[in-house]
Amino acid sequence: MNELIHINYKRIIIAEDSDAMRADLISILNNLGLTNISSYENGLDAYTALKNEAESGTPFDILFTDINMPKMNGIVLLKLTREISLYKKIPIFVVSTENEKDTVMKAIIGGATDYILKPYLQTNVCSKLVKKLN
């Protein structure tokens, strides 16, 4: 199962302003065999990286984004990312403490593949990945 994820989805980008949450998610993904990870502490820097990599022909395969971040929030990042043709169908996981129905719906309508509520367990992240990627 982990091998399938590793083979098919190599490049991951994380947009998360909390150092601890970013490190935790990277650790979880590393434990799943996913090690080609770029991370940014705000949505604007993540968007710039997403756009630059798409323009260079080496787009990311998966995006994890928090909602509340400086410079650009996760909902805006999600919508702008989906406007780039190479990112129209990639899995985008919103990872947030926000659990209000309105916020979750904005993420889903904006193009999120799934929503992962913080705090999360490795098993939860793994099951969401496997469910959406297979």
Written as tens digits, the pLDDT of the chain (134 aa) is: 454 454 455 799 999 999 999 999 999 888 888 888 999 999 999 999 999 999 999 999 999 999 999 999 999 999 999 999 999 999 999 998 877 888 888 888 888 998 888 888 788 888 888 776 66
Distances (CA, A) of 95 to 25, 66, 67, 113: 10, 5, 7, 11
Q: CB neighbours of 114 closer than 8 A, spacing ≥ 6?
A: 91, 93, 94, 128, 131, 132
DSSP secondary structure code for residue 2 in this structure: H
H or E segment to which residue 96 belongs: strand 92-96
The ranges assigned to domains in the chain are 2-133
Q: CB neighbours of 10 closer than 8 A, spacing ≥ 6?
A: 34, 36, 61
Q: What is the CATH number of domain 2-133?
A: 3.40.50.2300
Cα separation, 32 vs 47, in Å, equals 25
